[in-house]
Amino acid sequence: MDKDKLIFDWANNGPHPANAKPATIQLVDETLRDGLQCPSVTEPSLDEKIELVHLMNDLGIDCADIGLPGASDVARAHIMALAEEMTSLNITPNVACRTMISDIEPVVEMSQKLGQPIEVCAFIGSSPIRAYAENWDLDHMEKLVRESVRFAKSHDLPVMFVTEDTVRSTPEILSRLNGAAIEEGADRLCICDTVGGVDPTAVRNIFSWLNNFLADKGASHIGLDWHGHRDRGLGLINTITALASGANRAHACAQGIGERAGNTEMDLLLVNLKLLGWIDRDLRKLGDYVNFASQATGRPVRGEYPVFGKDAFETATGVHAAAVIKALKTGDKWLSDLVYSGVPASDFGLEQIISVGPMSGKSNVIWFLEQRGHEATAQRIADVLECAKQAKSILSEEQVLTAAKIN
């Protein structure tokens, strides 16, 4: 059976057209900088950071933000070691710097030692509320932008100019600051939802304005980045919207770790880009990246976390399990993957799991026992179900086998 006949696609059948596939999609992994600004994480060792960079590289992630050189001597040492490691990989490094020459000077020194440029992500708060709190005026802000970008470009460093809190700034401020950065040679502009405060409508509007701004300046060649947070739980959909609206590079972190409520989830972004048909790559080892990042940062993967949580493809509910089991018995992997799931587990190196619990039926027990090489006799089924109906949660394998009187 053709699966397209079994699953109706409303995204491509209705009055609202699906987003067109972007011409270019690049990804920046922020786990080792913005992700580590999460108050609850543990700082990974340098060896763990290196391993994580290799996992990013294996997934085809284009760039990694490897730190804030202005933070400390340790930060600079780790940045240098990571940048050296990345010279043999496809993934490239960038670092976050304030729009201050003193922040960029160490990047110049490291790039010269390395023999390869490290991208400078020069940032400044751009919203009126931030300027008011800092007692900045626009002339002062523009001066900082011009001096810092000019300095970085004079040393042949690629520059992404970052307006923090872009989405709460005004066209006047953004025109002045982005215009100054472009005039001084910036290669990319980064649009930031720094406090995770907007929805997809605002994302579309700001990219519409920005695309017109660049066209008017004859600067449509400038790359556009999107950096989103998830304070309202909208990080992922805003990032997808940004890519559909003109961004050609998006930022995200493993599990969405980051300041406050965190950043866009890199793993879920990759999952969705694949399901949208916007990227075509092997993501069966994506779980390795999620699990290693979890271990290295001390942030457990929640059971209900999409795709990679332990509950994501597990069911003990009788009617749902029965449908999955029937699909599994056909031998069609895609059928068992999709009959009761919107995400095909096998695409991401995972599989459907049938468990036994208070809402299970006979089919759960039969499948559970037979998959472990045990005969599912009527007595065993009855004994296991009696135990399950009295339980307060899903039974462990040991509990099922004990109830079935299997040693």
Instruction: Show me where the domains of the chain are located.
Output: 23-297, 314-403
Judge contact between 284 and 270, C-beta under 8 A.
Answer: no
Judge contact between 334 and 86, C-beta under 8 A.
Answer: no
As a whole number of angstroms, the distance between CA 341 and CA 142 comes to: 51
Tokens of 91: 């993934």
Q: What is the pLDDT of residue 193?
A: 98
CB atoms within 10 A of CB 135: 7
Judge contact between 162 and 192, C-beta under 8 A.
Answer: yes
As a whole number of angstroms, the distance between CA 182 and CA 317 comes to: 57
Residue labelled with tokens 């931030």: 130
CA terminus-to-terminus distance, the chain: 42
Nearest to 122 by CA among 95, 140, 143, 89: 95
As a whole number of angstroms, the distance between CA 125 and CA 120 comes to: 16
Q: Enter the pTM of the model.
A: 0.95
Q: What is the pLDDT of residue 140?
A: 96
Q: What is the pLDDT of residue 187?
A: 98
Q: What is the pLDDT of residue 3?
A: 78
Q: What is the pLDDT of residue 404?
A: 95
User: What are 247-261's pLDDT values in tens digits?
Assistant: 999 999 999 999 999
Tokens of 171: 């066209």
What is the block-wise mean pLDDT of the chain (407 residues), using blocks of 10 residues?
A: 85 91 97 97 97 98 96 95 98 98 97 97 96 95 98 98 97 98 98 97 98 97 98 98 98 97 98 97 97 98 97 93 91 90 95 95 95 96 96 96 92
In sequence order, what are the beta bridge partners of 192?
227
Q: What is the pLDDT of residue 332?
A: 86
How many angstroms separate the most distant Cα atoms in the chain? 82
Q: Which CATH architecture has domain 23-297?
A: Alpha-Beta Barrel (3.20)
In sequence order, what are the beta bridge partners of 96?
121
Residue labelled with tokens 């600067």: 219
Judge contact between 309 and 300, C-beta under 8 A.
Answer: no
